[in-house]
Amino acid sequence: IKLPNLKIIRSLAFHYAKIRDINIEKVELIERKAFLGSQIMTIYNNLIQTIPKQCFTCCSSLIYAIFPNVTKVEGRAFLECDKLVTKYDENGMIDKTIQLPKKLLRYNIQKLLLKLPRAAFRQTEINEQNRFMFLVDHVLIFPKNITNIPKDIYKNLKIFVSAVIGTNIIEIQDNSFYGTSLQMCYFPQCTIIHCGSFVMSNLINIVSPNVRQIKQKAFQYCSQLQDCSFPLCEKVEGENTNFAFDYCRSITNLDIGKNKIIIDKDINRLDSLQFVKGSLGHQKAESIQNDFHVKALWFGIIEHKCEKFKNQHKILK
């Protein structure tokens, strides 16, 4: 969201708002509790000099809060902002050189793979020693020799990751991406998503059309997760408060194959849910989706196919 004429943000203006990115570069004053409990992920301003009390308290999704000219940070301004990369003390940003990461407009898988070190293609598993070997341009990308994401391997990762791509990943183990900042996943061959794999992550989109099993709590508290489609899914585990999609407040349409499930929207806190294929609603509901990452994925795939076609054409000439 861009608010080019906004000068003052009043108290509780964005209280519990589901806004993820906001441009407030012209704002000169923020009042206390302005963003209390919101889902904001990135924010930037170089005019503000004071961050007031409880301004971003309980903003559990906040990753980058960049205010280079702030000289005073009042009490509990960033309380429970556990994913925050930009650290503050009472005098402002500790490292004023940190900048917002640039969003990739295309996830060109082949180009990203070319940036990996050669050693990455010799690995057969992900472990504590090599887990960052696969990080390129804020994207975790796994070559075809990696087929499994181990338990807890990226749990509560403090490094910003925008996307995870694994074209040959078959299984995602328990708590693999628990509490991470990742926003998009592409696992075209994945068949099993285990217990708590994405709990409390910033996941917005997942493209994984061949999933057969989704274990309990797999996406619990993914409050930004949007419409999901798992058309081949045979089993979704969890009942009541252990349901795989508990507290996924942004999902409007859910396709989980032939599963017949009973959902209590109040117990499961699926506030936006209107359609579950075979269980709830007669047709998909209209909804506004943040599909930036999905578009970037398809643009990257199209770009690669165009490059491949051009190269073949040159050979034929």
Query: Residues 6 or more apart from 192 whose CB is under 8 A from it?
Result: 170, 171, 172, 211, 212, 213, 215
User: What are the structural domain ranges in the chain?
Assistant: 1-100, 102-312
Has residue 316 got a pLDDT over 80?
A: no
User: What would the CATH number be for the domain defined by 102-312?
Assistant: 3.80.10
Tokens of 256: 């989980």
Among the ranges given (66-70, 135-139, 258-262), the one the predictor scored with the smallest mean pLDDT: 258-262
Residue range 183-203, pLDDT digits in tens:
999 999 999 999 999 999 999
Rounded average pLDDT over 263-270: 77
Confidence at residue 196, expressed as pLDDT on a 0 to 100 scale: 95
Mean pLDDT of the chain: 90
The pTM of the full predicted model, rounded to 2 decimals, is 0.83
- Range 164-189 average pLDDT: 96
Residue with more model confidence, 1 or 44: 44
Of 3-17, 142-156, 227-241, 291-305, the range with the highest mean pLDDT is 142-156
229-233, 292-296, 305-309: segment of lowest average pLDDT = 305-309
User: Which pLDDT band holds residue 182 (cuts at 50, 70, 90)?
Assistant: very high
